Amino acid sequence: MFLDQAKIHLTSGKGGSGVVSFRREKYVPRGGPDGGDGGRGGHIILLVDPNLNTLSNFRYQQHFKAENGLPGEACNRTGKDGSDLYITVPSGTIVKDIESHQILADLTFENPEFVILRGGRGGRGNSRFATSTRQTPQFAEKAELGTDLWVELELKLIADVGLIGFPNAGKSTLLSKISAAKPKIADYPFTTLIPNLGVVDFKGESFVAVDIPGLIEGAHQGVGLGHQFLRHIERTRLLVHLIDFSGLSGRDPYDDYLQINEELRLFNPALAEKPQLIVSNKMDIPEAEALLEAFLAKTELPKVFPLSAATSQGIEPLLSTIIQKLSELPKILTTINMFTEEAPFKEDLALKISKEDQFYLVKNKSLERRIIRYDLQNDESVNSLQRFLKRWGVFTALQNAGISEGDQVRIGEFEFIYYDED
């Protein structure tokens, strides 16, 4: 079942918490701290699978969660990392953040793998907090939570040649004659309801062609599922425009030619600029020659390829020209800069402080993630947090903002009352 759009919810794994532990061995009555760190949570990784050409795997499963990391153990043993979760997608999948509408990744064979969510970091065990003046720390660090994200997957098929035209123009018939693809063929409009891919081998050369379901007036506005069809033309290098010259449709071939190109322009001006080969199909019908003469009289096209997809007449000259044109055209390369794997963990030290109601609000995502790792039920951990906030420059920034003793401060979900340490 073909599906070219899907919305899924992703949750990376939570890290494991650090542990409080001390050496307890015979003849070592006062062993030092040996609490190990927690393991990191599992990442979520999108991976291109060359065997896929649809997003139908996401029709019945929309929620994906990576494995959590395990807590640390005594004897400085680090907890096991959570397993990474790999989600396979077809080449040509664009990943968008649903909330911000930002494009996060464009996955092709050139960019086959993307770490979309990193797992939470494991908390540090109490052995990490031992110093010359604090030899028996009674606290450990909590784990960092995983992150969650709703994303939209949008598939734009990657093909060299796009077959376009009005419904029942003969696109599917042509694809079935030049490749091993077996699209549904019948003598009525909209027989094809999904794009069909076919690999064409001709005189030692090969290319991929996609049969785009018939376009109609208003396709750029979504009429006749136009949006779903038109997006698959965007990655093609060459368009083969089939026009029905049988006269049986009751439409004028010249009007069809203008209308299709107008729909391309209105949807995306770049589509109308793509190289096109114009094909006059159904030339085995007696009335076709007269219609072709009238068409040529109205246009200044350098060449029109007469064809009968049903009888295979004219296919070889068309394929020869396609091969020649493709050799002259550059490959379609993706231009979207995907986020690097390290981007989610890069800490931004800049603080934004504002006054709202009775609170001084301190805004910084990195700071908020760090604070929730402190055990606020443990006095030593709270003291460590105070030292951390001082090192970060939070207290200095609050003083510069005009804070007074007794004022309330909120950093994410963490709230406290400010007192001058002097």
Sort strands 103-107 and 93-97 into parallel, antiparallel or unpaired: antiparallel
229's torsion region: left (phi>0), alpha (psi -120 to 50) or beta?
A: alpha
Provide, for the chain, the percentages of residues in helix, strand and coil under a 3-state DSSP scheme, each rounded to the nearest 5: 25, 25, 50
Half-sphere exposure of residue 245: CA atoms within 13 angstroms, side-chain side = 28
Q: Is residue 214 within 8 Å of residue 251, measured between CB atoms?
A: no
- CA 30 to chain CA mean position, Å: 54
What is the pLDDT, as a whole number, of residue 215? Answer: 63
Taking CA atoms, 302 is separated from 273, 305, 310, 314, in Å, by 16, 10, 25, 17
As to burial, measured by CB atoms within 10 angstroms (0-12 exposed, 13-18 middle, 19+ buried), residue 382 is middle
Residue 237's contacts (CB-CB under 8 Å, 6 or more residues apart) are 160, 161, 274, 275, 326, 329, 330, 331, 332
Residues facing residue 64 across a β-bridge: 10
Given the structure tokens 């060459």, which residue do they identify? 238
Domain boundaries, the chain: 1-155, 161-328, 348-417
**pLDDT of the residue at 249:** 81
Element holding 195 (H helix, E strand):
none
At residue 273, the 3 state secondary structure works out as: coil
| Cβ pair 144, 17 in contact under 8 A | no
- Local confidence pLDDT in tens for the 422 residues of the chain: 567 789 999 999 999 999 999 988 777 777 789 999 999 999 999 999 988 878 888 988 999 999 999 999 999 999 999 999 999 998 889 899 999 888 898 888 877 899 999 999 999 999 998 988 888 899 999 999 999 999 999 888 778 898 988 888 888 889 888 887 664 444 433 344 467 778 888 888 888 888 887 564 443 344 444 445 677 788 889 999 999 999 888 889 999 999 888 888 888 888 888 999 999 999 999 989 999 999 999 988 889 999 998 899 999 999 999 999 999 988 765 544 444 434 444 566 788 999 888 899 999 888 888 888 888 888 888 888 888 899 889 999 999 988 888 889 999 888 888 887 65
Cβ(281)–Cβ(242) below 8 Å: yes
Amino acid letter, residue 395:
F
User: Phi and psi for 62 in degrees, rounded to 5?
Assistant: -115, -10
Q: What angle do CA 218, 4, 177 make, to 5 degrees?
A: 80
Give CATH for domain 1-155: 2.70.210.12
Cβ-based neighbour number of residue 194 at 10 Å = 18
Exposure b/e, 333-363, CB count within 10 A at least 16 = b? ebeeebeeeeeeeeeeeebebeeeeeebebe
Q: Which of 42, 95, 44, 29 is nearest to 69 (CA)?
A: 42
Q: Is 127 in contact with 138 (CB distance < 8 Å)? A: no
Tokens of 330: 């550059």
Question: DSSP per residue over 125-144, as a string?
Answer: PGGGG--SS-SS----PPPP
What predicted TM-score, i.e. pTM, was given to this entire model? 0.70
> Which of the listed CATH numbers 3.40.50.300, 3.30.470.20, 3.30.300.350, 3.40.50.720 matches domain 348-417?
3.30.300.350
pLDDT at residue 288 in the model: 92
Class of the 161-328 domain?
alpha beta
